[in-house]
């Protein structure tokens, strides 16, 4: 494993996430062994905009029940469960952090989706056969992956001709400095932000054509305002992304919001189609 990969797994695995989720569910009066996937949405969508952002991206894709879908960097599994639950597809999630993979598996069984969703430990050197997926997703993962060329090359390898790669990533959009920690990195060594130009260029080199692109800055600012209003009212619910981010959660979120407001970073969607080999 590369140094950055070891650092990233440690960064995401430091807190006992599954125990925290189970305790929060109990506090909310749920039986943690029998829940609907929607109950987990405040905690299992680890990216700017949460479940709303995933749903908005999925609506732009033509997803059919017979598709094989891959979620690269699947975290604790919310996006994979949303796709399987709403569209009936079979979904594979691959993630570097074993603790997140274990955490992702348990709720899928709790929601009755275990037969359609599976999670494997792996890096962007994907442990998967060639041309085996119709749709791949990458949601807030590339910020931890310095080798974007390998990331796109691997996504192209496992996608069939006619496949789609949907990317929703925090990208570098301005020159300002980023203060650390941020949700994806405690220190600068774990952060591998790139510009939209780099993402487009690496994708094109790997055999993708850009079909659509949208800067989601305004949606993010609206999401942050709602989060901050909730925090100011003292009404933070037991289940939320704070369960995933440990003791420095406030600094991480504040630094990220400041950088989005300053225009240094922005969450950007890119939808690519495969170019025939
Ligand atoms: C901010 S979380 C996003 C999780 C998920 N995509 C979501 O949106 O809910 C980033 C995830 O990327 C994973 N990750 C980071 N580097 C990776 C790599 N090289 N290969 C696979 N997963 C990686 C981390 O383990 C973590 O689960």
Going by C-alpha positions, the residue among 267, 255, 239, 240 that lies closest to residue 53 is 267
> In this model, does residue 42 exceed pLDDT 70?
yes
Going by C-alpha positions, the residue among 33, 128, 121, 110 that lies closest to residue 75 is 121
- Confidence class of residue 21 from pLDDT cuts 50, 70 and 90? confident
Judge if pTM exceeds 0.75.
yes
Distance CA 4, CA 19 (A): 26
> β-strands 265-274, 208-215: how paired?
antiparallel
> In this model, does residue 90 exceed pLDDT 80?
yes
> In this model, does residue 277 exceed pLDDT 70?
no
Ligand 1 pocket check for 139: Cβ under 6 Å: yes
- pLDDT for 154 equals 98
Ligand 1 pocket check for 5: Cβ under 6 Å: yes
Sorted by sequence, the CB contacts under 8 Å of residue 250 that are 6+ apart come out as: none
> In this model, does residue 96 exceed pLDDT 90?
yes
- pLDDT for 37 equals 83
Task: Dump pLDDT digits (tens) for 104-160.
Answer: 998 888 788 889 999 999 999 999 999 999 999 999 999 999 999 999 999 999 999
Mean pLDDT, the chain, rounded, equals: 93
Average pLDDT over residues 205-209: 98
Query: Residue with the nearest Cα to atom 7 of ligand 1?
Result: 46
Query: Residue with the nearest Cα to atom 27 of ligand 1?
Result: 75
Going from the Cα of 74 to the center of ligand 1, the distance in angstroms, rounded, reads: 6
Ligand 1 pocket check for 123: Cβ under 6 Å: yes
Which ligand 1 atom is the nearest neighbour of the CA of 9?
25
């Amino acid at each position: 494993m590369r140094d950055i990969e070891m650092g990233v797994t440690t960064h995401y695995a430091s807190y006992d996430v599954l125990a925290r989720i189970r305790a929060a569910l109990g506090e909310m009066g749920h039986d943690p062994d029998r829940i609907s996937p929607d109950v987990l949405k405040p905690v299992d969508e680890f990216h700017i905009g949460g479940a709303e952002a995933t749903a908005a991206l999925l609506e732009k894709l033509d997803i059919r029940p017979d598709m094989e879908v891959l979620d690269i960097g699947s975290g604790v599994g919310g996006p994979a469960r949303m796709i399987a639950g709403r569209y009936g597809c079979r979904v594979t999630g691959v993630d570097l952090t074993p603790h997140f993979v274990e955490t992702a598996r348990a709720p899928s069984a709790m929601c009755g989706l275990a037969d359609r969703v599976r999670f494997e430990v792996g890096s962007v050197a994907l442990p998967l056969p060639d041309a085996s997926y119709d749709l791949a997703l990458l949601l807030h993962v590339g910020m931890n992956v310095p080798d974007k060329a390998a990331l796109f090359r691997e996504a192209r390898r496992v996608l069939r001709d006619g496949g789609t790669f949907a990317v929703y990533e925090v990208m570098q959009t301005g020159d300002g400095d980023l203060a650390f920690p941020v949700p994806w990195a405690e220190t600068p060594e774990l952060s591998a932000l790139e510009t939209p130009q780099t993402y487009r260029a690496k994708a094109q080199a790997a055999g993708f054509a850009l079909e659509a692109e949208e800067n989601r800055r305004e949606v993010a600012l609206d999401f942050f305002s709602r989060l901050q209003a909730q925090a100011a009212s003292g009404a933070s619910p037991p289940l939320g992304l704070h369960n995933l981010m440990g003791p420095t959660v406030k600094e991480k979120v504040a630094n990220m919001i400041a950088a989005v407001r300053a225009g240094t970073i922005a969450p950007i969607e890119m939808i690519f189609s495969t170019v025939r080999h």
